[in-house]
Amino acid sequence: MTPASAPRTARVQRETSESSIDLSIDLDGTGVSDIETSVPFFDHLLTAFAKHSLTDLTVRARGDIEIDVHHTVEDVGIVLGQAIRQALGDKRGISRYGDALVPLDEALAQAVVDISGRPYLVHTGEPAGFEFHLIGGHFTGSMVRHVFEAIAFNAALTVHVTVLGGRDPHHIAEAEFKAFARAFRLAKALDPLVAGIPSTKGAL
């Protein structure tokens, strides 16, 4: 199969004492999503990721949210990262790099993605106190960084996310996810000018 015809899909299931997750992904989709994590604002963020990265995404997650949403949210990030890594395969023909600058009203976020095979996250610029804010009454602002860490480390991506401005925590978090989605969309795209793996090492 050529890179253009090989399916870039994955399904990952994960069961622990804290959460149960079943996630399917198609990197060459149209942004269709069907997401139920029992954490409504996280569903909103994942829906935005799918829509703006042109990734089809199905998630069914249950967890001990009566304790905290932390376990469920972080574990979904882990599984999403694992699914992305599987679906990318050997990464032949991909653009590899992507960047995006996304506004949401007063908020502005920038994301840069390198499908490098080297897990790394640089995450800066969220305003003081953002990490303590309950968005929608249940999703703590600190979880935004946790999700990006989980995705980057399990998908083996280098990710830089910078908040350049913003006041409303909902807008800031959503702008970050949309910027990441748009950058990932460019990085995962198949480029007809790329022959083989886009690295001088011959592997990513």
Domain assignment present for residue 89? The answer is yes
Domain assignment present for residue 172? The answer is yes
> Which residue is it, tokens 């249940």?
138
Domain assignment present for residue 151? The answer is yes
pLDDT tens over the chain, length 204 residues:
344 568 999 999 999 999 999 999 999 999 999 999 999 999 999 999 999 999 999 999 999 999 999 999 999 999 999 999 999 999 999 999 999 999 999 999 999 999 999 999 999 999 999 999 999 888 999 999 999 999 999 999 999 999 999 999 999 999 999 999 999 999 999 999 999 999 988 889
Could you list the residue range(s) of the whole structural domain that residue 110 is in?
9-188
Domain assignment present for residue 15? The answer is yes
Domain count for the chain, please give it: 1
Rounded-to-integer distance, Cα 149 and Cα 49, Å: 15
Number of residues assigned to the chain: 204
Q: How many CB atoms lie within 10 A of CB 106?
A: 12
Q: Dig out the tokens for 46 from the structure.
A: 């994942």
Domain assignment present for residue 1? The answer is no
Domain assignment present for residue 196? The answer is no
Beta bridge partners of 122: 160
Domain assignment present for residue 67? The answer is yes
Q: Dig out the tokens for 202 from the structure.
A: 């011959």
Domain assignment present for residue 181? The answer is yes
Look up the CATH number of the domain holding residue 40: 3.30.230.40
